[in-house]
Amino acid sequence: MFEFVKCFYTVVGALFVIYLLGYSTFLIASVIAGSLDLYKESNKRRYHNEISHDYYVPVSIVVPAYNEEESVPLAARTIGGLLAEADIPYELLFVNDGSRDKTWELITGFAKEDEHFIGISQSRNRGHQNAVLAGLMEAKDKCDITISIDCDGQDDINAMDAMVDAYVNDGCEVVYGVRSKRDTDTFFKRFTAESFYKLLNAMGAEGVYNHADYRLMSARVLHEFANFKEVNLFLRGMVPL
């Protein structure tokens, strides 16, 4: 009888050990498979169409554009003109964010005519923050610094000089463009924007007052930033972290 009980417990013990081994192998395999999936997912491009020139430039200007057929030519002319004048090798990277007007046609036209202009296009409208991020991630491997700026001409492009200066002379890897006045905005826009910043600060999120996404970021910072797996992005809240 004693032998039988001993044998029984040995078999149960062995089965338990086999179960534990099997289960932990399964767990480890799922974690590895999950990580591989995540890795593949993060490498997947979020846009489907791109016109790109393969070269290295010190400065990449990232411009998100959603239904901006009126502003794209202006941005190309003013920003392109400024950088050409300053004699800084640059690229102007437009991110078409699923526009329904002629924005993408215009971008591809500029890219064919002039090697300074390149464009990427998201498969659908994904919102300002995702468009900026797509551009920054595209630029980070082929430049030293990026400057993100809106397409609509509301930001003072002349401030880029001071931004680049802060990087070159003071080693600042992130430089925020801050609006000193909002006189091109309607009262409603000013009020909602100011309330938004105040609310954010009250909730403990340290935003930079009156800073949208007009910002210099070094490629070094962007490589670190690429490790964030956050899906619901709020860049101007995350960068100060």
Instruction: Looking at residues 4 to 33 of the shown chain, list those that interact with Mg ion (rule: CB under 5 A).
Output: none
| CB neighbours of residue 28 within 10 Å | 10
Give how many residues touch ligand UDP by CB under 6 A: 14
Give the residue with the Cβ less far from ligand UDP, 116 or 236: 236
Residue 112 CA to residue 237 CA, distance in Å, equals: 36
**210 interface partner picked from Mg ion, ligand UDP, none, CB below 5 to 8 A per type:** none
Q: Is residue 66 a contact point for ligand UDP (CB under 6 A)?
A: yes
- Could you say whether residue 156 binds Mg ion (CB under 5 A)? no
Tell me whether residue 17 or residue 212 sits nearer to ligand UDP (CB atom): 212
State the minimum distance, in angstroms, from the CB of residue 130 to Mg ion.
Answer: 16
50 binds Mg ion, rule: CB under 5 A: no
Which position among 60, 64, 175, 222 is part of the footprint of ligand UDP (CB under 6 A)? 64
Asked if 127 touches ligand UDP (CB under 6 A), the answer is yes
Q: Which residue from 106, 120, 114, 52 is spatially nearest to 83, judged by alpha carbons?
A: 114
Instruction: Kindly report the number of other CB atoms within 10 A of residue 43's CB atom.
Output: 7
The residue within the footprint of ligand UDP, chosen from 47, 57, 68, 92 (CB under 6 A), is: 68
* Smallest distance from Mg ion to CB 145, Å: 23
> Do β-strands 211-218 and 59-65 pair in parallel, antiparallel, or remain unpaired?
unpaired
**Given 70, 101, 152, 173, the residue binding Mg ion (CB under 5 A):** 152
138 makes contact with ligand UDP (CB under 6 A): no
Whether 186 and 139 have beta carbons less than 8 Å apart is answered as no
Q: How far is CA 78 from the centre of its chain?
A: 23
Nearest of 70, 86, 235, 240 to residue 157 by alpha carbon = 86
Q: Give helix then strand counts, H and E, for the chain.
A: 8, 7
Q: Is residue 138 packed enough to be buried (19+ CB in 10 Å), middle (13-18) or exposed (0-12)?
A: buried
Strands 117-122 and 145-148: unpaired
Listed ranges 26-34, 35-43, 111-119, 126-134: which one lies at the site for ligand UDP (CB under 6 A): 126-134
The alpha carbon dihedral of 184, 186, 192, 195 has a sign of positive
Binding mask 211-230 for ligand UDP (x = CB under 6 A): -x------------------
Stretch of 33-41, 64-72, 139-147, 220-228 lying at the interface with ligand UDP (CB under 6 A) = 64-72
Of residues 151-180, which lie at the interface with ligand UDP (CB under 6 A)? 151-152, 154
* Residues facing 217 on adjacent strands: 146, 174
Say which residue the tokens 């609310």 belong to. 199
Residues of this chain that bind ligand UDP (CB under 6 A)? 64-66, 68, 97, 125, 127-128, 131, 150-152, 154, 212
